[in-house]
Amino acid sequence: CHLVHYLRLSHHLIVLNYLIGTFDKLKSVSSEHVTITDAVFDGVEVRVFEPPAKQDETLKRAVVYIHGGGWALASARTSLYNNLCRIMAESLNAVVVSVEYRLVPEVCFPEQFHDALRATKHFLHPDVLAEYSVDPSRVAISGDSAGGNLAAAVCQQLSKEEHMTVRPKLQALIYPVLQAFDFNTPSYQQNMNMPVLPRYVMINYWIDYFNGNYDLAHSLVINNHTALDVSPALSFRGRLNWTSLLPSSFKKDYKPVVQTTGTAEIVQKLPALLDVRAVPLLAENDVLQRQPKTYVLTCENDVLRDDGVMYAKRLENAGVEVTLDHFDDCFHGCMIFTIWPTDFSAGVQTRNSYIKWLDENL
């Protein structure tokens, strides 16, 4: 894919998504247990999973799900996410709305955020909830990885909109990516070369999301964009101090990487690095106080482990009820790998724990 990009034949992410689609052609296939339909919510494509109505039941629960893939890959229609959402609908007897937001390079930030927000707000409209026989007081918003980023950002935005009559009861974030402020947290240092999501790949996803230049990657790796002399970053430093937000078992012997002199031009070129719609971990405390009951799943073998742990701690400090579900032997992305040939025990373990929490709290 990088060769394709270098030769300017196409964007390498377009090619990679094409390959994913070629090997994973899946149509909307309903069954006696779940009806699957494709729809458009306020201009955004979605896939809706509906379990059959029960005779003694009036209204169902619901989950708005936002898939991962670095804001650039995968789809609500791939077999991995189709399988996850179908199992969620069956296990929870809930309506699941899987959001098919537009991807890099077709669009960049903030369009993915806008797509997820529009689709969610459309679904939360009382008339739409009634159409799908959903209880307005029992709706969750959830997502994994980049989808967890979008879910957290959407929840924060909904909490600011006073006219909203229906709000999510819960948010459930699966190994979410929540900040681009510090690429040297203990988990970034510990797992910098971990397969599936090495540090350089995550940084490139951020650059693609912000429509930036890969030449900035090295400066980002060493935190030049948040050095002490980069004035736009100073006000955010206290909101992402991992030395106080992480338990000692995660901090180990790692040391903070804080440059005295940095490169302020990076933030000028990529202002979204400090935009809370892209980096929800940097939100103010008064916004965090308004967030719903929260579940955060993290994996030890993941550069993003500390993003989730720090967000859980900040929410807890703000008075939000939080469940941090940490897995010592699991890796980034594992929850969707539950079908052959990638049917991993880590995937089943994390998926079951996630669905169990939703079932008990939604």
- pLDDT tens-digit series, residues 228-253: 999 999 999 999 999 999 999 999 99
- Measure the CA–CA gap between 116 and 68, rounded to whole angstroms: 12
Residue 82 lies in a domain: yes
Residue 148 lies in a domain: yes
pLDDT on residue 32? 65
Residue 267 lies in a domain: no
| Pairing mode, strands 293-301 and 322-331 | parallel
Cα angle 328, 333, 335 (rounded to 5 degrees) comes to: 75
> CB burial class (10 A; 0-12, 13-18, 19+) of residue 296?
buried
Residue 256 lies in a domain: no
Query: Can 332 be counted among the known catalytic residues?
Result: yes
Which candidate in 67, 114, 225, 332 is catalytic? 332
pTM value? 0.92
pLDDT on residue 96? 98
pLDDT on residue 318? 98
Q: Answer yes or no: is pLDDT of 13 > 80.
A: no
Residue 162 lies in a domain: yes
| CATH number for 318 | 3.40.50.1820
Give just the sign of the alpha carbon dihedral 298, 304, 306, 311. negative
Prior bond of 126 cis (ω within 30°): no
Q: Are the CB atoms for 44 and 99 separated by under 8 Å?
A: yes
Which candidate in 302, 306, 307, 325 is catalytic? 302
Query: Can 12 be counted among the known catalytic residues?
Result: no
- pLDDT tens-digit series, residues 116-132: 999 999 999 999 999 99
Other beta carbons within 10 Å of 233: 22
Number of compact structural domains in the chain? 1
Residue 290 lies in a domain: yes
Q: Are the CB atoms for 101 and 68 separated by under 8 Å?
A: no
| Pairing mode, strands 94-100 and 44-50 | antiparallel
- pLDDT tens-digit series, residues 322-356: 999 999 999 999 998 877 666 778 889 999 999 99
- pLDDT tens-digit series, residues 147-182: 999 999 999 999 999 999 999 999 999 999 999 999
Alpha helices for the chain (secondary structure H)? 2-6, 12-23, 79-92, 111-123, 126-131, 146-160, 186-190, 199-209, 217-221, 231-234, 242-245, 248-251, 264-269, 285-288, 305-317, 345-361
Residue 30 lies in a domain: yes
The identity of residue 197, as a single letter, is L
Residue 106 lies in a domain: yes
State the angle between helix axes of 146-160 and 111-123 in degrees (0 to 180), rounded to the nearest 10. 60
pLDDT on residue 202? 97
Which candidate in 145, 182, 208, 307 is catalytic? 145
Range of the domain at 41: 26-180+272-361
